[in-house]
Chains A and B, each alone.
Chain A
Amino acid sequence: EIQLLESGGGLVQPGGSLRLSCTASGSAFNTYAMTWVRQGPGKGLEWVSEMSGSGGRTGYADSVKGRFTISRDNSKNTLYLQMSSLRAEDTATYYCAQYFQGSFYYGMDVWGQGTTVTVSS
């Protein structure tokens, strides 16, 4: 079964940048659409961004559009989230997840353990 491992979280000052990575074990990574979902402390789930398996299609939440960029390197089985102009409200645990059966329409069936981003001076 595929496993996802996020990394790159940490403490960053407001206005700063950070890049998250999500590395997948197993094969056929390039056939799966992937997503980033975040959860602020004590809060609910917030969908952040997604990318198709080929990388040709992306989507962003309004709250991060223009500040975050999703990308992937299928040769490395890795998904990225480049975050810039970070704000206090971006503080959260960030999960990467794989769409069920590779389709945007079926929800996410494989999740990483999450990586924590704290934006504070």
Chain B
Amino acid sequence: DMQMTQSPSSLSASVGDRVAITCRASQSISNYLNWYQQKPGKAPKLLIYEASRLRSGVPSRFSGSGSGTDFTFTITGLQPDDFATYYCQQSSSAPRTFGQGTRVDIK
């Protein structure tokens, strides 16, 4: 099965910072990589699909890049509402595994 390795597991940042999270697949998944945001007690929210396509209504400060096995999720200009946990997920094949998550909290 596909393994997704996400790093870092947590980070501290300030409002206005640029934040980057990486996700590595154990084998090539083309661009079938999604990013989610989850806040405590809430269901996840899809932000980016197909590695770099921003879902409608999602602020443009969120972006994604990569293909094959290496992917990056970036928040440019961190906002107070962005403090949350972020997950990558491969959707190339079942089981459509998630990364371990990255918790972004306030420095």
Contact = CB atoms under 8 A, between A and B. Distances in A.
B31 to A, nearest CB: 9
Contacts of A62: 1, 95
Interface in B66-91: 87, 89, 91
B95 to A, nearest CB: 5
B55 interface: yes
Q: Is chain B's binding surface mostly helix, strand, loop or mixed? A: loop
A12 interface: no
Interface stretch (A21-29, A75-83, A84-92, A108-116): A108-116
Given A50-B96, A107-B49, A107-B89, A45 B44 contact: yes
Contacts of B55: 100, 109
A105 B89 CA distance: 10
B102 to A, nearest CB: 10
A114 B43 contact: yes
- The number of chain B residues touching the other chain, given as a range, is 20 to 34
B35 to A, nearest CB: 8
A44 B94 contact: no
Contacts of A60: 94-95
Contacts of B50: 105-106
25 contacts: A44-B87, A44-B98, A44-B101, A45-B36, A45-B44, A45-B89, A45-B98, A47-B95, A47-B96, A47-B97, A50-B96, A59-B94, A60-B94, A95-B43, A100-B55, A105-B32, A105-B50, A106-B49, A106-B91, A107-B34, A107-B36, A107-B49, A107-B91, A108-B46, A114-B43
4 smallest CB-CB distances across A and B, nearest first, come from A59-B94, A107-B34, A111-B43, A44-B101
